[in-house]
Amino acid sequence: MFDVMIIGGGPSGLSAALVLGRARRSVLVIDNEQARNFVVQSSHGFLTRDAISPKELRHLAKKELKKYKTVQFCQGTARNLQQSHSNFLVEVGNLEFSAKKVIVASGLKEQLPNINGLKDLYGKYVFSCPYCDGWEFRDQKLTVIGNGNKLIEYVKLIRQWSKEIVLLTGGPRTFTSKDYEELTHRRIPIMEEEISGFSRERNDLQITLSNGVVITCDAAFLLKTNAIQHLILPEQLQVKLKKNGSYETSLHGQTIQKGLYIIGDAAKRFTGLVGAASEGYEAGVHVNKELVDEEW
């Protein structure tokens, strides 16, 4: 029996493992290496590690964790998380593990629209987070892809990195006429045709519309990637998904189920690397405190 099982070995899970391992808790980190950011070559904004590859960041974190004999790793997919009395059980392949507390740090996975070429170019020339990838395309030709009432705020944001923007709605626009006026007032071209394909030609990203028009740009920013949970918790644990697809949690990632915590993107949709690491630290401290109190 472990003190704590952590499902997910991304920045949130590994950071929780570090603080708990150092607090002399026996920790098992279960991970299946399918992180959403593995599509990018380099990730940005993590202090002291700007432009590091996502895999290298994990490699360095694991190297540090290996110093702590209190932390163990299991490669595989955690399934059937259950509560049994006051403990938790989980299956990985044909193994079963138990722990007093569980931290779910399993992140999200994208559900990109099914458009030719998009999957291959996502993370290379098509992105969603300008804080992560905007700098590399500053003052270049950008295409923003999106629709609906959240679009205007996204366009405003992307313009911080480049004013040379074309907007593709992928179908009839669904935002207000006020938003439309604001966009056209800033001379942002808006095209409402469906998008039929993405390709890379020479040094350009090309986006083909259903009427045959081809938009040539340096990169595109996609408002919605329709990310969903990697790990769907069994109903018996009674942790609800919110409308936006993240799990309901309160302070420090605590859920309605005592001893079960959810942190990182699984709880907040997009914490960023440093935010995820911070959540892991905070949850780790809280889980240790809960155990300390129970053992007193």
Ligand X SMILES: Cc1cc2nc3c(=O)[nH]c(=O)nc-3n(C[C@H](O)[C@H](O)[C@H](O)COP(=O)(O)OP(=O)(O)OC[C@H]3O[C@@H](n4cnc5c(N)ncnc54)[C@H](O)[C@@H]3O)c2cc1C
| Site residues, ligand X (CB under 6 A) | 7-13, 30-37, 39-40, 43-46, 77-78, 105-107, 123, 129, 132, 230-231, 264-265, 270-274, 276
Q: Which is nearer to ligand X, 253 or 259 (CB)?
A: 253
Shortest distance (Å) from residue 160 CB to ligand X: 16
CA–CA dist 97, 271 (Å, integer) = 28
CA–CA dist 288, 296 (Å, integer) = 12
Shortest distance (Å) from residue 136 CB to ligand X: 10
CA–CA dist 241, 115 (Å, integer) = 28
CA–CA dist 179, 148 (Å, integer) = 10
Shortest distance (Å) from residue 13 CB to ligand X: 5
Contacts (Cβ under 8 Å, ≥6 apart) of 115? 195, 196, 197, 198
Q: Which neighbouring-strand residues pair with 190?
A: 167
CA–CA dist 239, 33 (Å, integer) = 24
Q: Which is nearer to ligand X, 175 or 221 (CB)?
A: 221
Shortest distance (Å) from residue 17 CB to ligand X: 11
Q: Which neighbouring-strand residues pair with 29?
A: 6, 73
Q: Which is nearer to ligand X, 183 or 277 (CB)?
A: 277
Q: Which is nearer to ligand X, 8 or 259 (CB)?
A: 8
Shortest distance (Å) from residue 71 CB to ligand X: 16
Q: Which is nearer to ligand X, 152 or 274 (CB)?
A: 274
